[in-house]
C-alpha cells in the first residue's frame, strides 16, 4: 500500500436548480504535485474547486484529504484541512499593508514583529519578492498576487488552488511565479492551477485533469500528452490550434491618433502623448500590464466615457471621404458623422450589453434611433440575433433569454457578433477572450482575422502575449500610459515585449518603429 492521496474526489456532484454543474467526478492528486485543471467555460472547474475551498458543498459524493473523508462546509473548514484558494480577483484591503492583509482574521493582539518574521521566513524559503510594510494600493498586480499566495501559506496551506494565476502577468513575472511554484512543489505542497493557457500547462504541471460539460473526461501525465490531445479532451472533437495570419490587405490609414493625453474621472492622467496609426486590413495589438491606459485609450476613441482629453487628435479616415476629428464627439455623433466604429469593451455587461435584455433587445440597441415606439423595427434585430445564435453557437434557450444569465463565453459571443454585424471599418476589442475556453477563443480570433481580410482596421487589446504575437501584424506596447514601443509581431518575441511593458524608456524608439514596422 502506498501513501494516501493528498486530495481525492469520489463521485462528486453539484446542482444549481436544474443545472448540473458537476456530475460524478472522481480523481485524485498527490503530495508534491502540480495539477492543471482544464475545461471549457461552464465545464464545472470553478464549482469543483469552490467545493474543495469550502465555498460550495457537494450534493453527492465525498472529498478525502490524506486518505480521510472530510466535511468542508466553509472556507474556515478548508483552512483547518490546510487548503487555501487564490482567486483571480484578489480579496485584499487596499489601505492595509501586505503584513496586515496576511494576518487579517487572526484573533488576539497582533505581534507585528512575529508576523513580519514569519512572512520573511516564507519569503526566503520559496523565493517570493515581497515587502511586508508596503500598502496594497502601492503594489503592482504581481505583488498583490504574491500577497495572496503568502497569505494562504501563512495560514498553513499544504494544498493551494490558483485560479488563472498568470492572466495579468508579464513573461518575466510568469517565469518568477513558476520558479516559486516549483520550490513549493519541492517542499511537498500540492498545487492546483485553473488555466486556459495550454503552453503554460505543458511547462509547469505534472498532471492534467480535464472536465467536459461537468463530467470528468480523464487525467494524464503532462509528459505523455500535447496541446492538441488536451484540446480534444476538453471539447470532445478536434480543434485547429493554429491562428491564421494572412498578410495585411491593402493597408490604408483608418485611425490616426496624435499626441493624445487622456485624464480619467479622478483627474489622473492615464494616457500620455500617445501616437499611432491603425490601418485597414491589419490587426494592431495593444499590450501592457493591467492599468497601463489600455481601457482609457479605447474609451476615448469610442467616445463612450466623458474622459477629459487634455490634448491630441483622433482622426478617422473613411474610404474615399474626408478625414474627420473624433475628439469631443459622443458615440451618437461619431456614428452620425459616418464613422463605422465598433467597440467590444472590457466590461461586457456594464458597458457592452444590457443584462436584463435578451439577444434581440441587445441587437435593437444598434438600431433603435431609426424608429421609436410602435415603429421600432423588431424584425431585423430578431433575424440578426438568430443568425448570431446559430453562427457562433450561442448556448441560450432563445433570443429573448436575459443575457446576464448566460455564461461569460456566450455573453462575449453575443457582444462580438453584434459589433461585427454592424459592418465597421474600425473594430476595437478589449480583452475579447478573457476567461474564455479555447474553443470560444479561437472562434473570436477567426472572427478578427475575417474582419481584417475585409479591410477593417482591427485594434485588439490582449493579455496573452503568445496570442498577440500569432494574431497581430503590429503590437503597440503601453507602459504606465506611455507608448514604449511599436513592434512587428512577426519578428518580435515575448521577452522583448515584456521588457517594453515595464520600461517607459522605449518611448522614442517606439515612435521610430511605428514608421518602419
Nearby residues of 6 by Cβ (< 8 Å), 6 or more positions away: 28, 29, 30, 31, 33, 65, 66, 158, 159, 190
Show which of 205, 235, 265 is a domain's final residue.
Answer: 235
Q: 476 in a domain, yes or no?
A: yes
229 shares its domain with 274: no
Beta carbons of 487 and 478 less than 8 angstroms apart: no
Asked if residue 33 is part of any domain, the answer here is: yes
Residues 179, 49, 238, 386: what is their CA dihedral angle, to the nearest 10 degrees? -130
Which one of 203, 235, 267 terminates a domain?
A: 235
pLDDT at 330: 82
| Residue 393 phi, psi dihedral angles, 5° rounding | 55, 50
Tell me whether residue 345 is in a domain. no
Same domain? For 418 and 396 the reply is yes
Closest CA to 412 of 40, 19, 38, 109: 40
Domain membership of residue 171 (yes or no) is yes
Q: Please state, in angstroms and as integers, the Cα–Cα distance from residue 297 to each residue in 197, 276, 478, following that order.
A: 27, 12, 10
Angstrom distance (rounded) from CA 44 to CA 234: 12
Per-residue b or e along 217-228, where b marks 16 or more CB atoms closer than 10 Å to that residue's CB: bebeebeebeee
Residues 158 and 215 in one domain: yes
C-alpha dihedral (16, 18, 22, 25), degrees to nearest 10 = 130
Q: Does 1 reside within a domain?
A: no
Task: For the chain, state the CA radius of gyration.
Answer: 24
Identify the pLDDT of residue 339. Answer: 59
- State the SS3 of 65-95: ECCEEECCCCHHHHHHCCEEEECCCCCCCCC
Domain, as residue range, for 178: 7-235
Cα end-to-end distance, the chain, whole Å: 62
Claim to verify: residue 253 and residue 225 sit in the same structural domain: no
**Do 392 and 439 fall within a single domain?**
no
Please report which residue ranges of 32-73 form alpha helices under DSSP H.
Answer: 45-52
CB-hemisphere CA count at 13 Å for 196? 24
Alpha helices, DSSP H, located in 211-366: 227-235, 294-302, 331-336, 359-364
Give the CATH number, domain containing residue 123.
3.40.50.300
Kindly state whether residue 197 falls inside one of the protein's structural domains: yes
* Statement to judge: residues 255 and 314 lie in one domain: yes
pLDDT in tens, the chain (517 residues): 567 899 999 999 999 887 889 999 999 999 999 999 998 877 889 899 999 999 999 999 999 999 999 999 999 999 999 999 998 778 899 999 999 999 987 777 778 888 989 999 999 999 999 999 999 989 888 899 999 999 999 999 999 999 888 877 778 888 999 999 999 999 999 999 998 788 889 999 999 999 998 999 999 999 999 998 998 898 887 777 778 899 988 788 999 999 999 987 778 888 999 999 999 999 999 999 878 888 889 888 888 765 677 788 999 988 767 888 888 888 777 766 555 556 666 566 666 788 888 898 888 876 544 444 333 446 678 888 888 888 777 878 888 988 888 876 778 788 888 888 877 888 888 888 876 777 778 888 988 899 999 999 999 998 888 899 999 999 999 999 999 999 999 999 988 998 999 876 554 444 434 433 4
- For residue 2, being part of any structural domain is answered with no
For residue 429 the three cell numbers come to: 476589442
Q: Please check whether residues 112 and 172 belong to one and the same domain.
A: yes
For 384-399, the DSSP string reads HHHHHHHHTT---S-T
Per DSSP, what are the bridge partners of residue 428?
Answer: 343, 459
pTM: 0.74
Are residues 455 and 404 part of one domain? no
Instruction: Report the C-alpha gap between 356 and 401 in whole angstroms.
Output: 9
b/e per residue, 491-500, with b = 16+ CB within 10 A?
ebebebbbbb
Q: What are phi and psi of 498, to 5 degrees?
A: -60, -40
pLDDT reported for residue 198: 87
pLDDT at 173: 86
317 and 227 in a single domain? The answer is: no
Q: Quick check: is 26 in a domain? A: yes
User: To which residue does cell 478525502 refer?
Assistant: 64
Whether residues 430 and 413 fall in one domain: no
* 474 shares a domain with 375: no
Count up the domains in the chain and report the number.
3
360 in the same domain as 249: no
Among the three residues 213, 235, 257, which one is the final residue of a domain in this structure?
235
Amino acid at each position: 500500500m502506498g501513501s494516501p492521496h493528498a486530495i481525492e474526489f469520489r463521485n462528486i456532484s453539484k446542482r444549481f436548480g436544474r443545472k448540473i454543474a458537476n456530475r460524478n467526478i472522481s480523481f485524485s492528486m498527490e503530495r508534491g504535485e502540480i495539477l492543471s485543471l482544464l475545461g471549457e467555460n461552464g465545464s464545472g472547474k470553478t464549482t469543483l474547486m469552490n467545493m474543495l475551498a469550502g465555498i460550495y458543498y457537494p450534493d453527492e459524493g465525498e472529498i478525502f484529504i490524506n486518505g480521510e473523508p472530510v466535511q468542508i462546509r466553509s472556507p474556515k473548514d478548508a483552512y483547518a484541512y490546510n487548503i487555501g484558494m487564490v482567486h483571480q480577483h484578489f480579496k485584499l484591503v487596499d489601505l492595509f499593508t501586505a503584513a496586515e492583509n496576511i494576518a487579517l482574521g487572526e484573533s488576539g493582539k497582533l505581534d507585528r514583529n512575529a508576523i513580519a518574521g514569519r512572512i520573511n521566513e516564507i519569503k526566503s524559503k520559496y523565493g517570493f519578492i515581497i515587502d511586508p510594510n508596503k500598502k496594497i494600493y502601492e503594489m503592482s498586480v504581481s505583488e498583490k498576487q504574491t500577497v495572496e499566495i503568502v497569505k494562504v501559506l501563512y495560514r498553513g496551506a499544504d494544498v493551494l488552488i490558483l485560479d488563472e494565476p498568470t492572466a495579468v502577468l508579464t513573461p518575466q513575472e510568469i517565469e518568477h511565479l513558476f520558479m516559486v511554484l516549483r520550490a513549493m512543489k519541492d517542499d511537498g505542497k500540492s498545487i492546483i492551477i485553473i488555466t486556459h493557457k495550454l503552453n503554460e500547462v505543458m511547462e509547469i504541471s505534472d498532471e492534467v485533469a480535464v472536465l467536459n460539460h461537468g463530467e470528468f473526461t480523464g487525467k494524464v501525465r503532462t509528459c505523455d500528452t500535447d496541446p492538441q490531445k488536451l484540446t480534444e479532451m476538453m471539447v470532445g472533437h478536434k480543434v485547429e490550434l493554429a491562428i491564421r495570419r494572412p498578410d495585411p490587405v491593402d493597408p490604408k490609414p483608418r485611425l490616426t491618433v496624435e499626441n493624445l493625453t487622456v485624464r480619467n474621472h479622478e483627474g489622473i492622467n492615464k494616457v500620455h502623448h500617445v501616437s499611432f496609426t491603425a490601418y485597414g486590413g491589419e490587426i494592431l495589438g495593444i499590450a501592457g500590464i493591467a492599468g497601463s491606459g489600455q481601457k482609457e485609450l479605447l474609451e476615448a476613441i469610442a467616445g463612450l466615457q466623458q474622459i477629459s482629453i487634455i490634448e491630441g487628435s483622433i482622426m478617422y479616415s473613411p474610404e474615399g471621404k474626408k478625414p474627420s476629428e473624433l475628439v469631443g464627439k459622443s458615440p451618437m455623433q461619431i456614428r452620425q458623422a459616418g464613422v463605422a466604429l465598433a467597440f467590444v469593451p472590457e466590461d461586457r455587461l456594464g458597458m457592452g450589453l444590457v443584462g436584463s435584455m435578451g439577444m434581440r433587445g441587445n441587437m435593437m440597441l444598434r438600431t433603435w434611433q431609426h424608429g421609436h415606439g410602435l415603429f421600432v423595427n423588431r424584425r431585423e434585430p430578431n433575424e440578426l440575433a438568430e443568425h448570431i445564435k446559430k453562427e457562433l453557437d450561442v448556448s441560450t434557450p432563445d433570443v429573448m433569454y436575459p443575457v446576464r444569465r448566460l455564461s461569460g463565453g456566450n455573453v462575449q459571443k453575443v457582444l462580438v457578433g453584434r459589433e461585427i454585424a454592424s459592418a465597421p471599418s474600425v473594430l476595437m476589442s478589449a480583452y475579447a477572450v478573457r476567461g474564455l475556453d479555447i474553443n470560444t477563443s479561437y472562434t473570436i480570433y477567426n472572427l478578427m482575422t475575417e474582419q481584417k481580410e475585409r479591410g477593417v482596421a482591427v485594434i485588439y487589446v490582449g493579455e496573452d502575449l503568445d496570442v498577440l504575437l500569432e494574431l497581430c501584424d503590429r503590437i503597440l506596447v503601453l507602459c504606465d500610459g506611455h507608448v514604449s514601443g511599436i513592434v512587428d509581431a512577426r519578428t518580435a518575441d515575448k521577452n522583448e515585449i515584456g521588457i517594453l511593458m515595464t520600461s517607459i524608456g522605449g518611448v522614442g524608439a517606439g515612435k521610430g518603429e511605428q514608421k518602419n514596422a
